[in-house]
C-alpha cells in the first residue's frame, strides 16, 4: 500500500513588502493582520510592516479561529449558550459592555503572550 502525504512548510515570501508598498504606498494605511491562530505568521507580517514604517497596523488576537468562534459570517455575535446578553441591566447599551452584565468572563484567558513593541 502506498500513501502519499503532502507536507506544507512555512516559507518566506520575498516579495511581501514590495507588493504591499506598491499597492499601499501611504504609510498611514490601516491594516488588520491575521492568520489562523494569530501567532507566528501574523507576528512576522506585523514586524515586517512595522519595520517598513507602516503606523496603523493591528493583529487579530487569537487569529481567525478565535474570530469565528465569536462572530458569524455577517459579523453578528454567535450565541453559543455559554454567555447570554442581559437586556435589562443598567447602562447605556444593551448591557454587555457598558454595564458589565455578562461581559466579565469574555476575553478572560489570553493563551498567547504577545511581545511588547513599545
Kindly state whether residue 62 falls inside one of the protein's structural domains. yes
What's the average model confidence in pLDDT over 2-27? 85
**pTM of the predicted model as reported, rounded to 2 decimal places:** 0.56
Q: pLDDT at position 21, please? A: 95
Task: Please state the three-class secondary structure of 80-99 as a single string.
Answer: CCCCCCCCCCCCCCCCCCCC
Kindly state whether residue 115 falls inside one of the protein's structural domains. no
C-alpha cell at 86: 442581559
Let me know whether 57 and 81 are in one domain.
Answer: no
Report whether 43 contacts 12 (CB < 8 A): no
Let me know whether 52 and 83 are in one domain.
Answer: no
The parent domain of residue 31 ranges over 27-70
For the stretch 72-97, pLDDT in tens is: 888 888 876 666 656 565 555 554 45
Domain count for the chain: 2
What's the average model confidence in pLDDT over 37-55? 90
Residue 110 vs residues 66, 71, 105: alpha-carbon distances, Å? 11, 18, 12
Kindly state whether residue 13 falls inside one of the protein's structural domains. no
Report whether 96 contacts 102 (CB < 8 A): yes
Let me know whether 85 and 59 are in one domain.
Answer: no
Amino acid at each position: 500500500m502506498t500513501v502519499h502525504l503532502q507536507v506544507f512548510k512555512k516559507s518566506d515570501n520575498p516579495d511581501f513588502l514590495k507588493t504591499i508598498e506598491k499597492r499601499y504606498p501611504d504609510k498611514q494605511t490601516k491594516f488588520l493582520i491575521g492568520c489562523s491562530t494569530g501567532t507566528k505568521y501574523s507576528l512576522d507580517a506585523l514586524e515586517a510592516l512595522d519595520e517598513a514604517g507602516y503606523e496603523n497596523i493591528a493583529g487579530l488576537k487569537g487569529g481567525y479561529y478565535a474570530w469565528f468562534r465569536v462572530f458569524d459570517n455577517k459579523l453578528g455575535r454567535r450565541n453559543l449558550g455559554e454567555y447570554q446578553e442581559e437586556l435589562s441591566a443598567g447602562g447605556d447599551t444593551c448591557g454587555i459592555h457598558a454595564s458589565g452584565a455578562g461581559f466579565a468572563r469574555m476575553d478572560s484567558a489570553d493563551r498567547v503572550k504577545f511581545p511588547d513593541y513599545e
